[in-house]
A and B are shown apart, each in its own frame.
Chain A
């Protein structure tokens, strides 16, 4: 099977979440980097950030960890053919509070590790942060 590109996976995931009535933004700028996909769930009022990787889940994990500041749930989405190592390291995802999504052969996202909901911890609630309203 031909390895899909990250852009192709991004297209497919956008379609999937838009069909689920989520508000989806792509390549959201965040201080010189870009978050691949950001979803706003109007029902739960939660913002999810997703970094998409065909295979380099470790890089995705670092990117997703940095995204935690500006979302409620931060995820790495990995193409299923290259997800074995990521799944074997699920405990690392859990420890860091990052969710893991496997993109299956039909380009559907399956959550295997649920991201930890970011608490406010005395900080201004993130969804009130003007940074996101501007997006």
Chain B
């Protein structure tokens, strides 16, 4: 199977067994930096067990005004602010522990980025993404010998010997809201500084809103032939009251991808779902999400908090439903069960009632989703642009509206997707 389009974001350590089963279905792993910092041994073990190329998300956007308070807790003895444990470890790895303590955990500002500060931050980030993993290898392999033993002795010996590197380095990044935002200049400077010290390719992350997805933004990143993109105000399956606004956001996203493709700049979406999957036909290099969550992310969303409940991906509708909703929908519309993939049918034990087992075993929902996503990507590879649009039209025609007794979910999102894609298709045909 061609798995180049899909990257999986590593979330919790217990997912590693499932991710190991999904080796052939995914391209890269995305490792959040705070997970690497806080739990280096199991993270290094997981990276080696899953045995896919990887890159690190530096997570540095959390240090700014709109986010930092979400990651502070009160010390039980002193009652003073301090970072949550995982963020504290990450901050130490960035050599910024004392820096934040001395300023009472006030957020970072663009003015903090003197030449010395910027240089140190870039260097620490580079070391975290390269040296940390190699430094922890022996310890990780020793502690997780049983897990890694499944790879076989020859593979283990080879891995211990080799120097591991991410696919590329991702510089520290901060949210930008306009072309005159001071954080844009910080992002660019630190990206260039990272390039100067790195022996690996550098892929900057752009964290912004859909209004800013313009050629002028792309011009600012001239010289970088690959970018990671996180458009924080897009939730692809949203069906808001203002349909026009959602159409506008998705069209801007699609148009930006198309422009980047024409200019030879590869874009990887840091969070994406089926709309992003469709955009791989229009120039998107690849996209990322978690093993059952993470198709979108608002910048203010907190990290941590434990695993959310299982949910079921209905491939024909290209979205998730809660398991109770899915059970009733599949009974109402039996053809919504995807019978084409024996792996998926095995996971649901051949029928709807099998979904009840999802409550006890997270791996069932996880595997089912990734297999479904893989099947979607395979369909998209075979389909013409018209086939893609026809699929969306059919979904709306046959299933809209979904029974109100079962769900309040609207299928307007497929209409929105179709409208956004038609704009790009027509624009491509004219150019």
Contact = CB atoms under 8 A, between A and B. Distances in A.
A31 B309 contact: yes
Contacts of A129: 353, 356
Contacts of B322: 31-33, 66
Nearest to A61: B405
B328 interface: yes
Tell me whether chain A's interface is mostly helix, strand or loop, or mixed: helix
Contact of A65 (B308, B323, B405): B405
Given A31-B323, A33-B324, A69 B356 contact: yes
B304 interface: no
B408 interface: yes
A131 B328 contact: no
A69 B327 contact: yes
A68 B356 contact: no
Interface string A13-46: 0000000000000000011110000000000000
Interface in B257-302: none
B20 interface: no
Nearest to B403: A65
B359 A31 contact: yes
Contacts of A32: 308-311, 322-323
B358 interface: yes
B406 A65 contact: yes
Contact of B358 (A31, A68, A96, A130): A31
B325 interface: yes
Contacts of B359: 30-31, 131
A83 interface: no
Interface string B325-367: 1011000000000000000000000011100101110000000
Contacts of B111: none
Interface in B304-328: 308-311, 322-325, 327-328
B310 A62 contact: no
Given A62-B405, A69-B324, A124-B353, 16 more contacts: A30-B324, A31-B311, A31-B358, A31-B359, A32-B308, A32-B322, A33-B324, A62-B406, A66-B325, A66-B328, A69-B328, A69-B356, A96-B405, A123-B351, A123-B353, A130-B360
Interface of A: 30-33, 61-62, 65-70, 96, 123-124, 129-131, 134
